[in-house]
Amino acid sequence: MQLVEGQPLDRLIPEAGLPVERILEIATGLAEALAAARERGMLALAGHAYEEETAPWMTSREILQEMVRLLPAADLRRMLGDNASELSRLLPELRKLIRPSGGGREARYEFSHALVRQTLLSALSVPRLQRLHLRLADAMERAYGAKVEEHAAELAHQLDEAGAAAAPERVRRCLRLAGDQARAAVATEEALGYYRKALELEDGMDPAERADLLFKRGEASRTLGRWSEAEADWHAALPALESGGKTELVMRICYELAYQATWHARLDFGRIIATRGLKSAGEDVNAGRCRLLAVLGQVHFFSGDFDRGDELLSEATAMAEALGDAASPARRQQRPGLLVCAHGLGGIGRTDERRP
């Protein structure tokens, strides 16, 4: 999607035509664009890439006639008196830069070569280019209406390119939504990039929002096998999640950290982080607490504390049976843990025979 600054001509041009001052204003902009292209040698490139006899361009006469049609008769005489020759000289060059695009009911035009567009864009200042991206984002929101969230990635790109011209909270919201959609589509690397950009926009970000983004980025990193990055993000997110009462997320993070620590033989850390999660869970009977009891039981088994491990796993099993399907992940977690610990550490006689 490309944006040319300004309103479409069908909205700008009244039925009676435009005053000459407005025509000259438009012509000035065209002349500046032509001059920028000429300085960079783009006119010659465009003329070489699209030969006149094969390209369906408007002729110089047709362009001139269309512009003349817009002028009231009195203004036409004034304008053509001194400027007709200059206008006629520029129009053949304009014909080399733009051409009509494919079908449709509305007349549309495109640059004759991608490098022409790039050359003209490079002549814009950074603030002006950022404003153009912001205007395009605004136009997309109006055009998509209630379905704008379906185009979160496109909108996020335009707002990100808008830089300081766009409100940080607006950009973060779109980047977060684009990241969520990318993860749902298993485009995890793209999701990680969206979350990373969102976290870089710190202006006006409250601790709860930052913690949510850290959690999401940690999940994406974990999916990509970047465990150290995931662990760092989740550690940074925990204090804000705990103070904000986000118990479910706290339990989930503590479980993931404790489980991974157990299989990396970081048993002291696994015990601390699982206990931290249980403290946040309280005494409620839920799947999150059930999983934490199970993984803490594993930690104790791996540490050689079979009695405490058996006690915790018995509690987790009873809770999983009471919860049914809601705790199925915890139920699947416990059984392998019991068998591994029992076989590996010699507790098979008193741990495995109790389990159905």
pLDDT tens for 43-73 read: 544 444 433 433 444 444 444 455 555 555 5
**pLDDT higher than threshold 90 for residue 240:** yes
- In angstroms, the CA 180 to CA 194 distance is 9
Fold annotation for 246-356: 1.25.40
110 forms beta bridges with 99
For 315-330, give the DSSP string: HHHHHHHHHGGGGHHH
Q: Give CA–CA dist 250/215, Å, rounded.
A: 10
What integer is the mean pLDDT of 318-331? 67
Distances (CA, A) of 204 to 153, 160, 222, 225, 263: 22, 16, 28, 31, 39
The larger pLDDT score, comparing residue 9 to residue 283, is at 283
34: left (phi over 0), alpha (psi -120 to 50) or beta: alpha
Neighbours of 103 (CB within 10 A): 7
Q: CA-CA distances (angstroms) from residue 330 to 159, 273, 340?
A: 42, 17, 16
**Residue 241 and residue 233 in contact, taking contact as beta carbons nearer than 8 Å:** no
For residue 265, the SS3 value is coil
DSSP SS3 for 100: strand
Residue 223: predicted pLDDT: 93
* Record: fold of 125-224: 1.25.40
Pairwise CA distance, residues 131 & 126, whole Å: 9
pLDDT digits (tens, 9 = 90+) for 64-120: 455 555 555 554 445 445 555 555 565 666 666 777 666 666 666 677 777 777 776
Tell me the whole-structure pTM to 2 decimals.
0.62
Residues carrying CATH 1.25.40, the chain: 125-224, 246-356
Residue keyed to tokens 């136009």: 139
Helix axes 20-39, 73-97, angle to 10 degrees: 20
Task: Please state the rounded mean pLDDT for residues 12-18.
Answer: 59
- What value does the mean pLDDT take over residues 146-153? 91
User: What gap in Å lies between CA 130 and CA 163, rounded to an integer?
Assistant: 6
Alpha helix segments (H runs only) across 40-72: 42-49, 60-69
- Judge residue 354's burial from the number of C-beta atoms within 10 Å of its C-beta, 0-12 exposed, 13-18 middle, 19 or more buried: exposed
**Bridge partners, residue 157, by sequence:** none
Tell me how far CA of residue 11 lies from CA of 3, 14, 18, 177, in angstroms. Answer: 16, 7, 11, 34
252: confidence class by pLDDT, cuts 50, 70, 90: very high
Distant-in-sequence, close-in-space partners of 355: CB < 8 Å, separation ≥ 6:
317, 335, 338
Reported as type and span, the H/E element at residue 163 is none
Q: How far apart are CA 76 and CA 103, in angstroms?
A: 32
Least confident of 187-191, 239-243, 344-348: 344-348
- Cα 89 from Cα 91, distance rounded (Å): 6
Distance from C-alpha of 60 to C-alpha of 92, rounded to nearest angstrom: 5
Please report which confidence band the pLDDT of residue 331 belongs to, taking 50, 70 and 90 as the band edges: very low
* Residue 236: CB atoms within 10 Å: 15
pLDDT at 112: 72
pLDDT given for residue 25 in this prediction: 61
Single-letter residue type at 209: E
